[in-house]
Amino acid sequence: MDILKNPTTVKSLASQLITSCDNYIALKMPEKQLKELITHYASQHGKKLFSRNGLNPTIISRIGKKRVELVNIMLSGFQRRLWD
């Protein structure tokens, strides 16, 4: 299970989110590891993951409704920095 921690593009980030969410759903990745990965993406790659109104529209369209729901659950309690 190879997951890139520092994707270089929004599409690459979406691809990594798909892989990690699918691994979690297939019980190949523990919830704690998925949460750590998604919060890493949020804190280190926030400009790729987020837009003004929440998640980046490209991310939403690429990963699909069910994975968006899972990402939002994993991000509950996460607060973005105001200066990004």
- Sequential DSSP letters for 1-57: ----SS-SSHHHHHHHHHHHHHHHHTTSS-HHHHHHHHHHHHHHSHHHHEETTEE-H
Mean of per-residue pLDDT scores for the chain:
92
* DSSP assigned state of 83: T
Beta carbons within 8 Å of 1's beta carbon, 6+ residues apart: 19, 23, 28, 29
pLDDT in the model for residue 83: 45
pLDDT in the model for residue 28: 97
78: helix, coil or strand?
Answer: coil
For residue 77, give both structure tokens. 């309690």
Q: Against a cut of 0.85, is the pTM above it?
A: yes
pLDDT in the model for residue 2: 86
